[in-house]
Structure formats: structure tokens, C-alpha cells
Amino acid sequence: MPVTPSQQAEIDALRAQSAPTARPTVPALEALLYTPLPVLDHGFVRVIDYMGDDAAIVQAARVSYGRGTRRVSEDAGLIRYLMRHRHSTPFEMCEIKFHVKLPIFVARQWIRHRTANVNEYSARYSILDREFYIPAPEHLAAQSASNRQGRGTVLDGDEAARVLDLLREDATRTYDHYVEMLNEDEAGAPRDPGRQGLARELARMNLTLNTYTQWYWKADLHNLFHFLSLRADAHAQYEIRVYAEAMMQTVEAWVPLAAAAFRDYRLGAVTLSAGMLEVVRRMLDGEPVDQKASGLNKREWTELMAALGRP
């Protein structure tokens, strides 16, 4: 289950609380606060806390004391200008904290983004849950022949069934061995009083990478946008992309003007090199340009044609 009964009780208690505040709040995000957004088979993303809103970005850019009397359209125009020209500091005025439950192999990819504050569930002190990520059949794919870190055609039939069996068997067996080495139940009491268990920090080492872990992850909006620009991209690995998409849902509730600008100028945009831009200019002037005459290598040419929607 994505959320344990104790976690659900904590969520219910937090959502039942109400406290007056003088700081800006965002009703759409308040409605999502503490609520887990399911991801994969056992994972989730939930917002724990946040600071700032679209107005905070505008306020920082204008260096004013009040929220100002500008119209929303003017605020949107300024935010779009800041995003378009990569003025990042005003976006750093907003921060958000997530509680994320995710497979270990996704966490190891995610942690490459070193611009956040992270505190992970410690298997040195606690016992990990018996929960593993098992891909849905449509996400079982062979290695791509053209991309060393990508997927090719989807496996099917007996081959797919065998892979799923192996994933379940390996995860179950290693977790059984983990419990046996610990010689502890979930409360920390010995299962067999007649023998000592292995230290938790050692017993964890044979667990499979699809075992679930959890962490708190806090970032400012500028660095969150950088994370999302890479991980919500269609080329990102599926298992981390779905977490980014869930986080994007919360960002759109939190800072809708900034989120719209981000979709236009980052997520839905492409960057052209000087050489690519020169090819576009030549094409607009009516010159027939092929890859050989473009001065671009084959990969750059392919990327440019894809961006322009040309075969």
C-alpha cells in the first residue's frame, strides 16, 4: 500500500488542523497539502510545506515591500519575461517540501540533482517495508539498439511473464533473507530469542534496488524547475518521469503563472545551437538545405528536423 495506516492517521490529523497565518497562502495547493498523489505501484508524492507564490516572484523582481497593485496580466507578463530571459533569482524566493516514496533505483538517479535538501529514511535505524516496484507489462521493454540508456520494443508473451516472475522472486527472496538476518519483527523484538540478529546497517545490503525507500525533499522553485525540465521530459526514464509529472501537478496548483511560463519556455521549448539557427535562416530564405550541406553532424541534423517537425 502507498500509505501505511499510521501515515494515513497522521495525514488525517494534519488536514483536520487549521491555523490563522499572516503569510500568503495558495488555496489550490492548500487543498492538496499532505495528500499523497499515487505514483507507480506503491509510491507517492505529497506536499508537506511551502513558502511563497506567484506574487512572491513578482515582488522579488520588483524589490518592493508590498504585494503591489499590479494586475494579474502584468504579473504574468513579468514572470514570462523572467523565465524567457533566464532571470532565476526571483524564482528562488519560493520553496516547497515534498514527502516522496520511491524505489531505491529511482532515488539513486534522483539524487544526482544536488540542489535540494534531502533526508532519507534510514535502514540503519529502521526496517524497510516489504514493498517492491514491479513494472506494469507495458513498461517491460528491451534495451534500445540506438540509445544506451533507453528502451526499445516492449517484451510480450512468455518472455515478459518470465521477467516479471524473476523480479518478484528475487525481491521476495532477498527480503526474506533480510528479515532472517535481522531476526527482528517490525517492533524490533527478536523473532528467535535464541540467536542474535545481524546489524540493520549490514542486513540491508542484499536488498534489491526495486525496494521502496522514502525521503523528504525540499527545493526552491528555480531548482525544482531545473529538475522538472529534465525529469518531466518525454525522454526521461518512465519511473522517474511519473514522479516529476505528479510534482508538476502540485506546481501548477501552487504557482500557476510561473508553471505556465515554464511549460512554454522550458518544458515545451527547444534550444537551437548557432549552427542550427543558421540552417533555419537559410531555409527561411528559400535555400534547399540537406544534412551534408548544413554543416551539422547527423545527430544535430536529426534533432533539428525533429524539432521542426520535418522528416
Q: Active-site positions?
A: 231
Residue 250: which residues within 8 A CB-CB, separation 6 or more?
Answer: 29, 32, 37, 45, 47, 96, 98
98 forms beta bridges with: 47, 217
CA distances from 85 to 68, 74, 79, 171, 221 (A): 23, 17, 10, 48, 16
Give the three-state DSSP class for 145: coil
Give the three-state DSSP class for 306: helix
Q: Which of 164, 243, 175 is nearest to 203 (CA)?
A: 175
Give the three-state DSSP class for 120: strand
Residue 56 CA to residue 63 CA, distance in Å, equals 10
Residue 71 CA to residue 62 CA, distance in Å, equals 14
Residue 43 CA to residue 121 CA, distance in Å, equals 14
Which ranges of 111-263 would DSSP assign to H, the alpha helix?
Answer: 157-182, 200-203, 221-231, 238-254, 256-262
Residue 248 CA to residue 245 CA, distance in Å, equals 5
Residue 297 CA to residue 273 CA, distance in Å, equals 12
Give, as one character, the DSSP assignment of residue 150.
Answer: S
Residue 145 CA to residue 156 CA, distance in Å, equals 18
215 forms beta bridges with: 100, 120
